[in-house]
Amino acid sequence: DVKVTQSSRYLVKRTGEKVFLECVQDMDHENMFWYRQDPGLGLRLIYFSYDVKMKEKGDIPEGYSVSREKKERFSLILESASTNQTSMYLCASSLGIRYTFGSGTRLTVV
């Protein structure tokens, strides 16, 4: 089975900190995605990548950046965390149109 691993289940960070959320997939998928999930808003796409060193903005990229130096790893970076970035963050990879999700990272910014 495809496995998508997010390095942390829970994180608490202070306002202004630089935060790295890591995601690794083990099935050589080309496509990787970062979503955030908030109550009543559903899942919203932050960034996605179709290949190494390639990135595309999703619907809500402001305040975030990403890095994909290796095919299996897609990192989400909060350059200066703010309280409105408190959320559940979900990473996914896909082969064609079949998606696999990680277990999520619940980030709290205080």
Partner 1 sequence: KQEVTQIPAALSVPEGENLVLNCSFTDSAIYNLQWFRQDPGKGLTSLLLIQSSQREQTSGRLNASLDKSSGRSTLYIAASQPGDSATYLCAVVDSNYQLIWGAGTKLIIKP
Applying CB under 8 A, which residues contact partner 1? Answer: 6, 33, 40-43, 45, 88, 90, 92, 97-104, 106
User: Measured from the CB atom, is 33 or 74 closer to partner 1?
Assistant: 33
Least distance in angstroms from the C-beta of 102 to partner 1: 5
User: Measured from the CB atom, is 14 or 97 closer to partner 1?
Assistant: 97
Transcribe 15-42 into DSSP letters: TT--EEE-EEESS--SEEEEEEEETTTE
User: Measured from the CB atom, is 56 or 79 closer to partner 1?
Assistant: 56
Q: What does the alpha-carbon distance between residue 53 and residue 19 come to, in Å, rounded to a whole number?
A: 20
Least distance in angstroms from the C-beta of 85 to partner 1: 18
Q: What does the alpha-carbon distance between residue 29 and residue 9 come to, in Å, rounded to a whole number?
A: 22
- The amino acid that residue 22 corresponds to is E
